[in-house]
Amino acid sequence: METLRKSKVPGPTGPVVLAIMDGVGIGKYSEGDAVRSALKPHLDWLKANALACQLKAHGKAVGLPSDADMGNSEVGHNAIGCGRVYDQGAMLVNAAIASLAMFRGEVWTKLIRNCREHNGTLHFIGLFSDGNVHSHLDHLKAMLIQAKKDGIRKARIHILLDGRDVGETSALNYVDPFETFLAGLNADKSVDYRIASGGGRMAITMDRYNANWAMVKRGWDTHVRGIGPQFTSAREAIEAHRKAKPGVIDQDLPPFVIASGGKPVGPIVDGDSVIYFNFRGDRAIEISRAFEDDDFDTFDRSPRPTVEYAGMMQYDGDLKIPKQYLVTPPAINRTMGELLSHAGVRQLAISETQKYGHVTYFFNGNRSGKFDEKLEEYVEIPSDIIPFEQRPWMKAAEITDYVLNAIRENKFPFIRLNFPNGDMVGHTGVYQATQIAVETVDLCLGRLMEAVKEARGILVVSADHGNADDMFEHDDKTGKVKTDPITGKPQAKTSHSLNPVPCYIYDPAGTAGLTLSAAASKGLGISSLAATCMMLLGFVPPQDYDKSIVEIKN
């Protein structure tokens, strides 16, 4: 492991604090920008008085296939933490499918062979959209086409409705064409491929960070056991749930089971093979554990079927979850946290449950453990299990309280924290709540600024991607806000934005003699935050790290 070299300019007396405002970008439109409309005196002050620039946080700047792809918290924290841009999940899966490497691999071959030997069904579970954040429908279609070529006679698809990375009530825009696609595969009667179950992504299956295992149990009961409200088709289920609960958005739709003659068409049983086709890891680990762990005791899985299970990727390389996977994830090494640990720098990482894994696991290059137990402290503030629009302040105050004490104690030269509010509340589509979420973060930043000033430290404020800055759907050509044809109100947007994010560097003591670097005006991405923080701490960043946002006078 390389050793960081000290620079000629020492770090500040107090800590360098990196505050990540999750989902707070710089909006393109005034209408629907909950960041712009929020009362945020501290952010406004930083924009006017601190070193300020914009950073790219989507598309190729964070390792995604194209600049039409929105950034997300996983790839964002990977980029921030490792200081470089790696090809990420979607791009790696695209390449594995295009080259046919996925279908020639040992795991795909094993799953296909298992179905043949046991006359089993090939099951697919995953997020059912083309949002390209957790999954992409094109990947599912490619696997179904290949499964037919490989002689798999029976496949069942368990769909997790999105409404978060895509339009909030767009489910049928995906279900209807997909049913046509399946009809095409089934036309020659050689195969029987059907949707078997489903539900909203925030209702079943896709929990993360052990926040709400009841979601995973509902998913298990729905997909595996075939227990739940029965319908003859996914369209019928979606329409019925919407009628029963007017205004519900796709991510919150209750579970459903597709049945024929009163019997579920696709429970998962002994001898079947199962592919969880999400490539992003945070909302894939718990359901993978439910399939794989022999000593699992979180909920009753009985009867637990004996199956061959695989993920699209390995979601946790340290814990080896899952054991089998179709595409090898990026091998991210030499992250900022690792290099600072080897340099003997004490570090604090903190957020609430919803983003705790982002400032630890993803920040550390998809690594779940610490680099040095003696030098690192990771703090998780438990999130409330309640709709975020009902508590838009979330746990920002508690995170701030802990960080303020750490700043005063001055035992951590580097502190990183994540305020989840802009992202988690932004995903609800509720404008008022999202505006309050941004104002909450601003209030907490004000408290951090005071503490950093008193400690003679440096505060770096940025974000991993946009969301709260783009709360309404806009026409791509005119920019005009789209309205709901029934209510006449603006159509809420619940997905991330393609907007840049701010970066503010607040050095109240002026000890570092900071100026913006020559590279800062040339469209840097959030990956440049790592080299920036290293320079502020008094180190020379590795040569292959993306350029720093600041220059320091000798």
**Range scoring the smallest mean pLDDT among 133-142, 505-514, 532-541:** 505-514
Give the mean pLDDT of the chain. 95
Measured CA to CA in angstroms, residue 52 lies from 18, 46, 451, 514 at distances of 14, 8, 20, 11
Which one of the listed residues 37, 66, 73, 99 is annotated catalytic?
Answer: 73
The answer on pLDDT for 269 being more than 70 is yes
pLDDT tens sequence across 453-504: 999 999 999 999 999 999 999 998 899 999 988 888 999 999 899 999 999 9
- The residues with which 415 forms a beta bridge, in sequence order, are 17, 348
Proportion of the chain above pLDDT 90, given as a percent: 86
Whether pLDDT at 512 is above 80: no
pLDDT at 539 over 80: yes
Per-residue confidence (pLDDT) for residue 486, from 0 to 100: 81
Residue 31 pLDDT class (50, 70, 90 cuts):
very high
3-class secondary-structure state, position 156: strand
Sign of the four-CA dihedral 19, 22, 26, 32: negative
Give this prediction's pTM: 0.83
CA torsion angle for 178, 179, 185, 188 (degrees, to 10)?
-160
pLDDT band, very low/low/confident/very high, at 520 (cuts 50, 70, 90): confident
Lowest mean pLDDT among 190-204, 229-243, 319-333, 390-404: 319-333
**Of the candidates 466, 514, 503, 477, the residue with the CA atom closest to the CA atom of residue 32:** 466
Distance from C-alpha of 532 to C-alpha of 232, rounded to nearest angstrom? 56
Active site residue 73: yes
Over residues 533-548, mean pLDDT:
96
Q: Where are the domains of the chain?
A: 5-87+331-552, 90-327
- The tokens describing 2, both together, are 């390389």
CB distance 279 to 327 below 8 Å: yes
For residues 22 and 420, is the Cβ–Cβ distance under 8 A? yes
Report whether pLDDT(246) > 90.
Answer: yes
- Per the structure block, which two tokens stand in for 71? 């950034």
Instruction: Write down the CATH number for the domain with range 90-327.
Output: 3.40.1450.10
Average pLDDT over residues 149-176: 96
Beta bridge partners, 158, equal 125, 197
Cα separations in angstroms, 47 against 42, 185, 382, 506: 9, 55, 32, 10
Q: How far apart are CA 143 and CA 93, in angstroms?
A: 11
Q: What is the pLDDT of residue 286?
A: 97
CATH topology of domain 5-87+331-552: Alkaline Phosphatase, subunit A (3.40.720)
Backbone angles phi, psi at 137, to 5 degrees: -60, -30
- The band of 554, judged by pLDDT with boundaries at 50, 70 and 90, is low
- Chain-centre distance for alpha carbon 445: 23
C-alpha to C-alpha distance for 78 and 364, rounded to whole angstroms: 7
Computed on alpha carbons and rounded to an integer, the radius of gyration of the chain in Å comes to 24
- Dist. CA 533–CA 351, nearest whole Å: 19
Q: CA distances (Å), 55 to each of 45, 194, 342, 491, in order?
A: 19, 44, 28, 28
Q: Are 201 and 286 in contact (CB under 8 A)?
A: no
Rounded to whole angstroms, the Cα distance separating 369 from 71 reads 25
pLDDT for 329-380, tens place per residue? 888 999 999 999 999 999 999 999 999 999 999 999 998 899 999 999 999 9
Where helices occur in 260-335 by DSSP H, the ranges are 285-292
pLDDT above 70 (res 282): yes
Instruction: For residue 215, name the pLDDT band (cuts at 50, 70, 90).
Output: very high
Q: What is the mean pLDDT of residues 92-107?
A: 96
Q: Is the per-residue pLDDT at 300 higher than 80?
A: yes
At residue 3, does pLDDT exceed 90?
Answer: no
Which residues on adjacent β-strands are paired with residue 376? Answer: 347
Q: In the predicted model, is pLDDT for residue 1 greater than 80?
A: no
**CB–CB of 223/268 below 8 Å?**
yes
Given this model, what pLDDT does residue 224 score?
98
Give the angle 220-226-231 at the CA atoms, nearest 5°. Answer: 125
Q: What angle do the packed helices 396-409 and 431-455 form, to 10 degrees?
A: 10
Q: How far is CA 216 from the centre of its chain?
A: 17
Pairing of strands 263-264, 256-260: antiparallel
Residue of 421, 420, 440, 434 whose CA lies nearest to 493: 434
Pairing of strands 550-552, 325-327: unpaired
Q: Is 181 exposed, middle or buried (0-12, 13-18, 19+ CB in 10 A)?
A: middle
Residue 73's H or E segment, with its range, is helix 73-82
